[in-house]
């Protein structure tokens, strides 16, 4: 067999393997859509669960997930942006910066269930927030932080050096330069990264198991110290804890969560595409 034939065979095998990886992704979407769509009635989306969650709607879980995602955004976005500004605009290349970078890498790598333990130890028990939206949001915020820092840093670093130099030469201070020159040019990139980070947080289950998730709570949360039902935990409950749940209810809940996560992802991609088109430098 000569080298050309070998190349043809190798290319074919690589092609097949790649198809084997990507096909299930498509199948999963088709499956969730086909089985989930019939469940999506106004009642399912906007009513309280009934019959031990086997009927009725998933409204409290949807609201809980939205509250948690907003809470996560509130803590992680300002902190993440400031941290990225420090790393990209202020920090010198020294040991401290290196340690900060290693810390970020490690935060990104800590298993999600360990965040759950940490949230339970610090927020729920030590700070006595109890299992609550506050404790859950803070836990998810720390978990999301690395994503937001990394994305913001990237957005800041593509703003040309000359922009800053011009601003400095006009007598602006470093903060004025960041505030009026660098940040406005980086905002779309930052928003894209933040949305992607939050879409991850919205789908997480392990960190919220002991910090906020309620098994069954057929009312809306009244304060940040309240527990809440959430979509990911509700899927877990429906597929492993409650017997005889109809397939329709299960797939319907999955479809709503996947839909929420995907709307956020599509929004982020759209923003990124628009940003690329507009960029003139």
Partner 1 sequence: MKRPFDFIIEKLVFLSGIASIIFVILIFIFLIKEGLSLFSQVSVQSFLFGVNWYPISDPPQFGIVPLLLGSFFVTFGAIVIAVPMGLAAAIYISEFAPRWFANVLKTGIELLAAIPSIVLGFIGIVTLAPFLKTVFRLPSGLTALAGSIMLAFMAMPTIVSIIEDAIVSTPKSYKEGSLALGATRWQTVYRVIIPAASSGILAAIMLGIGRVIGETMAVLMITGNAAVIPTSFLQPVRTLTATIAAEMGEAVAGSGHYYALFAIGIVLFIISFIINLLADMFLHRNGQGKKKR
- Asked if 116 interacts with partner 1 (CB under 8 A), we say yes
How many Cβ atoms are within 10 Å of 243's Cβ, its own excluded?
7
Does 209 sit near partner 1 (CB under 8 A)? yes
Cα separation, 179 vs 174, in Å, equals 9
In three-state secondary structure terms, 138 is helix
Part in contact with partner 1 (CB under 8 A); list of ranges 47-55, 66-74, 161-169, 256-264: 256-264
- Among positions 35-64, residues that touch partner 1 (CB under 8 A) are none
Establish if 111 lies at the interface with partner 1 (CB under 8 A). yes
Using CB under 8 A, which residues numbered 119 to 148 contact partner 1?
Answer: 120-122, 125-126, 142, 145-146
42 or 274, CB closer to partner 1?
274
The CB-of-136 to partner 1 minimum distance in angstroms stands at 15
Backbone φ, ψ for residue 50 (5° rounding): -135, 170
For residues 178, 181, 185, 187, the Cα torsion angle rounded to the nearest 10 degrees is 40
Is 45 within 8 Å of 58 (Cβ atoms)? yes
- Determine if residue 226 is left, alpha or beta; phi over 0 gives left, psi from -120 to 50 gives alpha, anything else beta: beta
From candidates 21, 161, 243, 277, binder to partner 1 by CB under 8 A? 21
Closest distance between partner 1 and the C-beta of residue 263, in Å?
11
Check: CB of residue 250 under 8 Å from CB of residue 240: no
Which residues, 73 to 102, sit near partner 1 by CB under 8 A?
79, 82-83, 85-87, 90-91, 96, 99-100, 102
As a whole number of angstroms, the distance between CA 237 and CA 239 comes to 6
> Is 222 or 277 the residue whose CB approaches partner 1 more closely?
277
Backbone angles phi, psi at 228, to 5 degrees: -150, 150
Binding status of residue 186 toward partner 1 by CB under 8 A: no
Which run of H or E residues covers position 49?
strand 49-50
Choose which of 74, 113, 166, 263 interacts with partner 1 (CB under 8 A): 113
Is there binding between residue 214 and partner 1 (CB under 8 A)?
no
């Amino acid at each position: 067999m000569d080298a050309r034939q070998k190349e043809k065979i190798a290319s074919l095998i690589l092609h097949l393997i790649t198809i084997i990886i990507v096909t299930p992704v498509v199948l999963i979407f088709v499956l969730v859509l086909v089985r989930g769509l019939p469940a999506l009635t106004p009642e399912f989306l906007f009513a309280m669960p009934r019959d031990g969650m086997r009927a009725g709607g998933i409204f409290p879980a949807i609201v809980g997930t939205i509250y948690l995602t907003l809470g996560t955004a509130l803590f992680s976005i300002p902190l993440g942006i400031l941290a990225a500004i420090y790393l990209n605009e202020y920090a010198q290349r020294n040991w401290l910066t290196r340690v900060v970078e290693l810390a970020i890498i490690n935060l990104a790598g800590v298993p999600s269930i360990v965040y759950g333990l940490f949230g339970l130890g610090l927020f729920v028990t030590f700070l006595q927030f109890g299992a609550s939206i506050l404790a859950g949001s803070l836990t998810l915020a720390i978990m999301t932080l690395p994503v937001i820092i990394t994305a913001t840093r990237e957005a800041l670093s593509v703003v040309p050096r000359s922009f800053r130099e011009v601003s400095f030469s006009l007598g602006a201070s470093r903060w004025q330069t960041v505030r009026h020159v660098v940040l406005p040019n980086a905002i779309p990139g930052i928003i894209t990264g933040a949305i992607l980070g939050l879409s991850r947080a919205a789908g997480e289950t392990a960190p919220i198991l002991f910090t906020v998730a309620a098994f069954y709570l057929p009312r809306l949360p009244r304060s940040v110290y309240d527990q809440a039902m959430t979509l990911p935990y509700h899927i877990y409950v429906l597929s492993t804890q409650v017997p005889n749940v109809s397939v329709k209810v299960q797939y319907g809940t999955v479809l709503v969560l996947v839909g929420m996560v995907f709307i956020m992802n599509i929004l982020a991609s759209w923003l990124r595409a628009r940003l690329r088109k507009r960029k003139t430098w």
